[in-house]
Chain A
Amino acid sequence: MERNTTQWLKTLLWMVVGVGLVFLLYALGQIVRLVVIGTMLAYLLDPLARMMETRGVHRTVATVVIFLGLGLVIALLLFFLFPVVVAQLQAIQEGLTLERTRALIRVVEVWLSARLAFLGADPVNLLEQGEGFVRDHVADILNYVPGVVSILGDFVVVPFIMFFMLKDGRSIKKGLINSVPNRYFEFALNVQHKMDVQLGNYLRGQLLAALIVGILSTLALWILDVEYYLVIGVFAGLANLVPYLGPFIGAATAVIVSLFTNEAPGQVLLILAAFAGIQLIDNTFTQALIIARNVKLHPVVVLLAVLVGGHFFGFLGLLLAVPVTAVLKVFIQETIHNARRYRFD
């Protein structure tokens, strides 16, 4: 009986600590976001630093080289791609006022009104709403002038955290593990190692897959002469980070744009065929790259994670929801599995 009460108190205490921690994370949302992004980038770049270490390069030198290389790549991308992306976004904003687009939306409107007539009043005014939505949101992106705090956060703090995590990540990890009490020390070391093995492959594999899909989609859309190919291609690559849903969202965006901007209906079929082909390539390669069966998430879990991520942390939350859920899943799985092996009460 007494033991039961103690167990309950223990559970209650842990729950209070857990809720407090979640609240703290939420309250420090902005800082947590920066640390998570910086740490994840460092984690993803770690194999590169290791590869250089294998060739006898000191870790600090390797970190500096990677840091400068990454800076150069980003600068080149900004220099060559940024003007094209801005031009395409501007075109999207203006494109919605085209006559063909208006006519298409009106057809959809009539179709919907006929089927939703039982609702009584005129239920939709798609044209106005759609135009307003795109104008406002694309204008938001185009007119986006980041504040001082945001610039400081994204362009100074993230690279700063990334640099030191990449350089000193091992000793930080070691310091954290070393602070674990004796009884749980070997257990913590074991869990951390198992997580590292499973997640390292998974996260890097996902990122590589997203990159491949992004490049292939952009190329395919460019060849098929789809407007705004670069914006849609990049979006399709990013969407690919969300399993099950991502590929459909990427393809759907391309199809919608094609419907609104292209006269020939054959283009839609070609786009669908291209995206199916890209998914085939992605699945074949990804399966070979990602050796992490334990990280497999159920579609319902993916959907919930995306909803929660998007609700609390916006667009970035949508993208990071699945990797973060994978980290949590592996952590819980390994903790339970190892707790049994270490026979904790």
Chain B
Amino acid sequence: MHSIWGNIFKRDDGPLGTRDLLKQIPIFSTLTNRELAAVERLLYRREYGGGDTIFRQGEPGVGMYIVAEGVVEIIYEPTGQILATLQKGEFFGEIALLNETPRSATARARTACILWGIFQPDLLSLLERNPSLGVKLLLALSQITGQRLVQADLQMHKLHEEAVRLEAALEQQDGEQADGT
């Protein structure tokens, strides 16, 4: 009996736990349940073994991934430096949703992973079919991109100040050495 009522009134929550996962992602956090259901239909479920490459630096980017299970590493290829380690509820590759730019780093599964992928062609198609939802998603994406830009700008400013300071120190050192000789 319980199961019958359970079935009738069961809210269509999409694939196991995806809705809660999506709500954690800033891009989707403002969406209604109905809108989240529309986004869920666009998701691709991908499984990776530990050590598998998700995408390589320099390849054309087509979309972003959300970590549902496991750990993913973002690696800068020439040096092999690990730029970030991502876990459940975190996401990467979101810039590729806006523009097909080459991937700026490699993504590799550190452990066995389950990822949910959302890709630009599907986002563009959704934008055409459901413009109000599309605008919400694009606004959220541009806000995130804007925040990243501000952060990058701050970092660049700091680095510039650091470079100026080091240059001045070097000049001073050179001057002292010249005075000494």
A189 touches B121 (CB 8 A): yes
Query: In this assembly, does B46 line the interface, its C-beta being within 8 Å of a C-beta of chain A?
Result: yes
Q: How far is the CB of A316 from chain B (nearest CB, A)?
A: 31
Query: In this assembly, does B54 line the interface, its C-beta being within 8 Å of a C-beta of chain A?
Result: yes
B62 touches A178 (CB 8 A): no
Residues of chain B with a CB closer than 8 A to A182's CB: 46, 48, 52-54
Q: In the complex the two chains form, what is the Cα distance from A342 to B44 in whole Å?
A: 20
Residues of chain A with a CB closer than 8 A to B63's CB: 186, 189
Q: Number of A residues whose C-beta is below 8 Å from B?
A: 21
Q: In the complex the two chains form, what is the Cα distance from A193 to B54 in whole Å?
A: 20
Given A54-B128, A54-B131, A182-B54 in contact, is the A193-B59 Cβ separation under 8 Å? no
Q: In the complex the two chains form, what is the Cα distance from A342 to B62 in whole Å?
A: 12
A343 touches B59 (CB 8 A): yes
Q: Number of B residues whose C-beta is below 8 Å from A?
A: 23
Q: In the complex the two chains form, what is the Cα distance from A193 to B61 in whole Å?
A: 13
Query: In this assembly, does B155 line the interface, its C-beta being within 8 Å of a C-beta of chain A?
Result: no
Q: How far is the CB of B58 from chain A (nearest CB, A)?
A: 8
Query: In this assembly, does A311 line the interface, its C-beta being within 8 Å of a C-beta of chain B?
Result: no
A190 touches B60 (CB 8 A): yes
Query: In this assembly, does A50 line the interface, its C-beta being within 8 Å of a C-beta of chain B?
Result: yes
Residues of chain B with a CB closer than 8 A to A186's CB: 55, 59-60, 62-63
Query: In this assembly, does A196 line the interface, its C-beta being within 8 Å of a C-beta of chain B?
Result: yes
Q: How far is the CB of B103 from chain A (nearest CB, A)?
A: 9
Q: In the complex the two chains form, what is the Cα distance from A185 to B44 in whole Å?
A: 10
Task: State the main secondary structure of chain B at its contact with A.
Answer: mixed
A53 touches B44 (CB 8 A): no
Q: In the complex the two chains form, what is the Cα distance from A185 to B107 in whole Å?
A: 14
Query: In this assembly, does A174 line the interface, its C-beta being within 8 Å of a C-beta of chain B?
Result: yes
Query: In this assembly, does A177 line the interface, its C-beta being within 8 Å of a C-beta of chain B?
Result: yes
Give B124's nearest chain A residue, CB to CB.
Answer: A193
Q: Which of A54, A178, A183, A193 contacts B121 (CB 8 A)?
A: A193
Query: In this assembly, does A293 line the interface, its C-beta being within 8 Å of a C-beta of chain B?
Result: no
Give A342's nearest chain B residue, CB to CB.
Answer: B59
Query: In this assembly, does A341 line the interface, its C-beta being within 8 Å of a C-beta of chain B?
Result: yes
Give A53's nearest chain B residue, CB to CB.
Answer: B129
Given A174-B44, A182-B52 in contact, is the A50-B62 Cβ separation under 8 Å? no
B62 touches A54 (CB 8 A): no
A190 touches B129 (CB 8 A): no
Q: Interface centre among A193, A341, A343, by most B CB within 10 Å?
A: A193
Q: A186-B62, A190-B60 are in contact. List 15 more A-B contacts (CB 8 A).
A: A50-B129, A178-B45, A182-B53, A183-B53, A185-B46, A186-B55, A186-B59, A186-B60, A189-B121, A193-B120, A196-B121, A338-B60, A341-B60, A343-B58, A343-B59
23 A–B contact pairs at CB < 8 A? A54-B129, A170-B125, A171-B41, A174-B44, A178-B44, A178-B46, A182-B46, A182-B48, A182-B52, A182-B53, A183-B53, A185-B44, A185-B46, A186-B55, A186-B59, A186-B60, A186-B62, A189-B62, A192-B121, A193-B120, A341-B59, A341-B60, A343-B59
* Chain A residues close to B by CB (< 8 Å): 50, 53-54, 170-171, 174, 177-178, 182-183, 185-186, 189-190, 192-193, 196, 338, 341-343
